[in-house]
Structure 1
Amino acid sequence: MTAAEDQHTVSPFATMIVLPIAGLVAVLHCVAATSAEGYWFDEVYMLAIGRHHLDWGSADQPPITPALAALMDAIAPGSVLALRVPVMLATAAAVVVAALIARELGGDRRAQGVTAFAQATGVWVALGGHWLTPYMLEPVQWLLMVWLLVRWIRVRDDRLLLVFGVVAGVAALTKFQVLLLCAVLIAAVAAVGPRELLRRRLLWAGAAVAALLAAPTLLWQHANGWPQLSMGSVVIGEADALYGGRFGVAVQMLLFAGIIGTALMGYGLWRLWREPELREYRFIGVAFVVLFVVFVAAPGRPYYVAGLYAPLAAFGALGLQHRRQTGRRGRGWLVWMAGVSSAALAAAVLVLSVTIIRADAGEQIAGDTAAAYHALPEEQRQHTVVIGQSYIVAAYLDGYSTRFGLPQAYSTNRSYGFFPPPPAEYDTVLYVGSDDDEISSYFAQSRPIADVGDDMQAYLLTGQRRSWEQIWPRMRTLTVG
């Protein structure tokens, strides 16, 4: 790289500011991970898939998170802390990459530190940064992709575009939303520049690498009828109940960035539209706005744009830096207040995340089910299958199976419905759910035999009338009843 190729001089990486922030994030999430008394339901779902059904895909998730769960469970069986090590590292790494983005944009040590702090104190990061789920592994991947692009703009090294393709392919094996991100980024670059990027051969070579990496899970989806596409309508249908509809999604999509993060994002977006020297980076703001509109209109999940919070915050932090350099310091106390408030809110949310899991009934569900299962006569148990009404129930049963001596669980809900049905020799069912309406017609007799959790029962069904090969596709559903 020659000096002429460098559009602006970058400051040294703010090691003594950024790494302590990232380290503190890792430590706090480690404390939260060990304080929680059980699994978050989405991570025990990943664990169950990884233990019993690891494949190139599942109905609603690509394979990387279940594979990580299976790996950590093999290293330290039953350890919740070990299970969460990959996501805690990813959460801390996102803080570092956020600062690297600020550095590439010309941010000094303070701007890098502010950007890192904004990433570290995001509400969404605080809530789930220690849960091994696809949506908590995704932000660092998106941030890496943005960093590669902004670095390419500065140094014009096309090898970065090939690496971009590798990261995009890995991200597609983690969560499918990255495919939409890539499409929107390309459209945004075509609309507002830098269009030179689209003429680079290694960009399209990187796209080919990404497609090659993502091919196995896409082929799995094709072979199973593209259940991921059907999940779109499920997500839309759940938006009202979970997030308060489109308005709730829009508000949470902004507030999940945290207090200082949201403020910096707003300032960063304003600067992107206003400052001529940021024209080559304007596509990032366009991509965020487009995705925001799409995910509100659909509606999607509020965390779908979490991977773009830090880049926009970096533009805001860069604006504060320019104000300092030009003597227009403004009301610095507002920034300090926003920072303190953001940290306090993040700490409160982190405590809340531990409380949520403590209040969860997963272990109780598995314990009550195990008691009912082991109370059956041994001869009957040998041909009894345990089925959960929802994938959440089935995942808890699988997650705690070694502790309570439960067999592998089944369900016709979500990804479980696309796994193989029970073997033909299992003609008796211990069914765990709020009711037995969907399955009772396939058996001659059904009767409740035990209470499970706070509001469910274990039903014993005998006298099977149809084979599992006939029952399974008829009961299969992606919606949680």
Structure 2
Amino acid sequence: MVATDVGRRRDAPPPVAWPWVLCAASLLLAVLVAFSARYGPHRDELYFLAAGRHLAWGYPDQPVLTPLIAHLADVVAPGSLVALHLPSAVAMAVVVVLSALMARELGGRTGAQVLTMVATGTGVVTVFAGHLLSTTSIDTLFWVAISYAVLWTLQRDRPRGWLVVGALAGLALEDKNLVAFLLGAIVVGIALTPSVRHHLRSPWAWGGVAVALALWVPNLVWQALNGWPQLTLAADIHDEYGALGERLTFVALLLVQFSPATAAVWVYGLVRLFRRPSLVRARALAWAFVVLVAVFLLTGGKAYYVVGAVPVLIAAGACGLAERASRRWLVAAGAVLALSGMVVWPSALPILSERAFGQSLYVDINQDQAEMIGWPALVATVRSAVSSSGATLAVTRNYGEAGALEWYGLDVPVYSGHNGYAAWGPPPGSGGPFVLVGYDSAPSWAVGCRVVARVDNGVDLDNEEQGGAVQVCDAPAGTWQSVWSEVTHLSA
């Protein structure tokens, strides 16, 4: 009887605590939707909306999936921030569900599943990723889904699961090429884990590879035809974040991006996956995490790159805690985990007023949220410059400025040379005058420029656009066609 019971527990995971799972996912979704229309769109969202109006199989800085989602949201509900942010909110709600399912695959019952969801769902990086549409939001969902599919395949020793992994990977590669690192790290992890190494020889695994490559081909072709611009951007990111100080910041952010208390749980989970014999089949995911951290630490990656690899570690840690602790202790642990994340939520969600946020310490924690404030003021300033000068078009230095002018509306066409916008120009002809936005001084490709205004977001918030110059220029130094190569530039 004992042997039979042990075998049953090994082969059949515990039931899913569906009432708790659905409640937790719904609660997170409700919170994210409730705050989704405050502040404004992020500069990257404005760019994705513009890219969605120029759909292609790729762009210099990402594949097509996120711009496509932005486009669909804008078609369904034009100008709606709720609609624009909803896909990311749903993605993070699904992440919470998948985190509970991973705890279940590792043997966790209701207490472990709930603790996993609390730690994952209240993490500051989770709510921020769920508040704005970004490649990271969608990428995180795919990383967690792939991790769960790999865990399911290895734990149950069902090689056909690799076809699901391949399909998820192929879709993820049409959102962000970063998932290739996860796949490579998983292969290394399996190779380092003898009990699951036979999966590398499975025809189902190679079938999954074929599925992923087939789905990735359109973007690969686009990148090849356009000179692999993403490699140029990757080098730019390495130059910016490769210094020693940035590497120390990488380690610090890795430990706090969910919350410091949650970091203790996933570090414990990482140790359990390496040391617990009953979890040996899941050990490949622990190796994968170690490989990913090492690679990104050495190559100048950012800490949020590995966010999607953490929930399985949280699940492993929560399972260990649930095995050792009483129900009362688990409730207390869940409260600590939730509070340690929620205390930083104003840095990730627009809970405070714009002015209060700008004057708080939260802006130093997450400068990205500052880039969702002040766009209407910028557009009003540019609109006034256009009206007073009789300008026939506007040219901006970065895609955020161009996207804002298009989102909020300008009476003249908008152009930029930044990343994807470069392909949507140059303007026709060679005439002027035109309004120049975001350049500290007159560029060599423009003549007769004079500063007519400075951008003021109205809340004294020091973001990227605050204090930027708005100039009126007489004309380009030649035709737009001849100077466009000087206007265009790639940067992260």
Q: Quick check: TM above 0.5?
A: yes
Does the alignment pair 1:432 with 2:411? no
Once residues 430 and 448 of structure 2 are traced to their aligned partners in structure 1, the CA distance between those partners, rounded to angstroms, is: 18
1:433-448 alignment runs, 5 A limit: 433-438=438-443, 441-448=444-451
Once residues 337 and 185 of structure 1 are traced to their aligned partners in structure 2, the CA distance between those partners, rounded to angstroms, is: 33
The gaps in structure 1 that reach 5 residues or longer are: none
Displacement of 1:357 after TM fit?
5.1
2:124–2:342 CA contact under 8 A, matched in 1: no
Once residues 190 and 406 of structure 1 are traced to their aligned partners in structure 2, the CA distance between those partners, rounded to angstroms, is: 59
Displacement of 1:348 after TM fit?
3.9
Once residues 150 and 185 of structure 1 are traced to their aligned partners in structure 2, the CA distance between those partners, rounded to angstroms, is: 10
Q: Which residue of 1 aligns with 2:154?
A: 153
Q: Which residue of 2 aligns with 1:373?
A: 386
Q: Which residue of 2 aligns with 1:122?
A: 123
Once residues 349 and 67 of structure 2 are traced to their aligned partners in structure 1, the CA distance between those partners, rounded to angstroms, is: 26
Find the partner of 1:205 among 201, 204, 207: 207
Q: Which residue of 2 aligns with 1:387?
A: 395
Find the partner of 2:487 among 466, 469, 475: 475
Amino acid at match of 2:384: A
Displacement of 1:352 after TM fit?
5.4
The more displaced of 93-102 and 348-357 is 348-357
Amino acid at match of 1:411: S
Residues 426/118 of structure 1: CA separation in 2 closer, same or farther (3 Å cut): farther
Amino acid at match of 1:400: Y
Amino acid at match of 2:336: A
Once residues 312 and 23 of structure 2 are traced to their aligned partners in structure 1, the CA distance between those partners, rounded to angstroms, is: 20
The more displaced of 97-106 and 251-260 is 251-260
Render the CA deviation track for 1:297-327: whole Å, top value 9, x for unaligned: 2222221001011100111111123324xx8
Render the CA deviation track for 1:74-129: whole Å, top value 9, x for unaligned: 11111111111111111111100111111112111111111111110112112231
The more displaced of 139-148 and 366-375 is 366-375
Q: Which residue of 2 aligns with 1:360?
A: 373
1:386–1:430 CA contact under 8 A, matched in 2: yes
Q: Which residue of 1 aligns with 2:477?
A: 465
Once residues 140 and 351 of structure 2 are traced to their aligned partners in structure 1, the CA distance between those partners, rounded to angstroms, is: 18
Q: Which residue of 1 aligns with 2:220?
A: 218
Q: Which residue of 1 aligns with 2:415?
A: 410
Displacement of 1:475 after TM fit?
3.2
Q: Which residue of 2 aligns with 1:279?
A: 280
Residues 397/198 of structure 1: CA separation in 2 closer, same or farther (3 Å cut): same
2:46–2:407 CA contact under 8 A, matched in 1: yes
- Equivalences, count: 462
Find the partner of 2:343 among 339, 342, 345: 345
Once residues 411 and 359 of structure 1 are traced to their aligned partners in structure 2, the CA distance between those partners, rounded to angstroms, is: 20
Q: Which residue of 2 aligns with 1:25?
A: 28
Displacement of 1:335 after TM fit?
2.1
Displacement of 1:235 after TM fit?
1.6
1:49-88 alignment runs, 5 A limit: 49-51=51-53, 53-88=54-89
Does the alignment pair 1:456 with 2:454? no
Displacement of 1:364 after TM fit?
1.1
State TM-score, norm by structure 1.
0.89
1:10–1:104 CA contact under 8 A, matched in 2: yes
1:296-315 alignment runs, 5 A limit: 296-315=297-316
Amino acid at match of 1:168: A
Displacement of 1:254 after TM fit?
2.0
Identity %: 31
Render the CA deviation track for 1:47-100: whole Å, top value 9, x for unaligned: 12112x221111111111111111111111111111111111111111001111
Once residues 115 and 443 of structure 1 are traced to their aligned partners in structure 2, the CA distance between those partners, rounded to angstroms, is: 56
Once residues 333 and 371 of structure 1 are traced to their aligned partners in structure 2, the CA distance between those partners, rounded to angstroms, is: 57
Residues 435/207 of structure 1: CA separation in 2 closer, same or farther (3 Å cut): same
2:186–2:284 CA contact under 8 A, matched in 1: yes
Once residues 19 and 331 of structure 1 are traced to their aligned partners in structure 2, the CA distance between those partners, rounded to angstroms, is: 23
Amino acid at match of 2:200: L
Amino acid at match of 1:68: I
Once residues 345 and 95 of structure 1 are traced to their aligned partners in structure 2, the CA distance between those partners, rounded to angstroms, is: 19
1:46–1:66 CA contact under 8 A, matched in 2: yes
Residues 461/311 of structure 1: CA separation in 2 closer, same or farther (3 Å cut): same
The gaps in structure 2 that reach 5 residues or longer are: 358-368, 457-465
Once residues 70 and 61 of structure 1 are traced to their aligned partners in structure 2, the CA distance between those partners, rounded to angstroms, is: 15
Amino acid at match of 1:470: S
1:39–1:357 CA contact under 8 A, matched in 2: no
1:106-255 alignment runs, 5 A limit: 106-193=107-194, 194-239=196-241, 245-255=246-256
Render the CA deviation track for 1:413-463: whole Å, top value 9, x for unaligned: 22223443222365543111142433xx23442222333334122222224
Once residues 462 and 148 of structure 1 are traced to their aligned partners in structure 2, the CA distance between those partners, rounded to angstroms, is: 59
State TM-score, norm by structure 2.
0.87
